[in-house]
Amino acid sequence: MKVVIAGTYSQAGLAALADATYEQRRAVMDEVYEACGGKIIDYFFCDGDADFIAIAEIPSREVHKGMLNNALATGSTTNLRSWYEIDLSAVTESQRKARDAFKPITG
């Protein structure tokens, strides 16, 4: 399953930016995701509402939740948000079933 992650650094995380290169940070991300059965597809820094964006493959949402909990527990990140890949065929199938079953109350 793919996931997009956006996050911001805490004050401590921002202070530490000066002491590590992109390559060092990417290596840490790669190591963490691989240790949990995932893989970083892309990871970059940005300007705006988030300090960084990552695109990754993960084995499950539950595994990823544990990874995010750990990242937050270190104190280096805040405001981690995730958007998970969905199966659009399953969504539209459920939508059709709900549409067929739903009868609005009129009166």
DSSP states along 28-42 = HHHHHHHHTT-EEEE
pTM for this model (two decimals): 0.85
pLDDT at 45: 96
pLDDT at 62: 98
Q: Whole-angstrom Cα distance, residue 80 to residue 4?
A: 10
Domains in the chain (CATH in brackets) are 2-101 (3.30.70.920)
pLDDT at 103: 86
Per-residue confidence in pLDDT tens, the chain, 107 aa: 999 999 999 999 999 999 999 999 999 999 999 999 999 999 999 999 999 999 999 999 999 999 999 999 999 999 999 999 999 999 999 999 999 999 888 87
Structure confidence by residue, pLDDT tens digits, 60-83: 999 999 999 999 999 999 999 999
Contact assessment for residue 58 and residue 1, using Cβ atoms and an 8 Å cutoff: yes
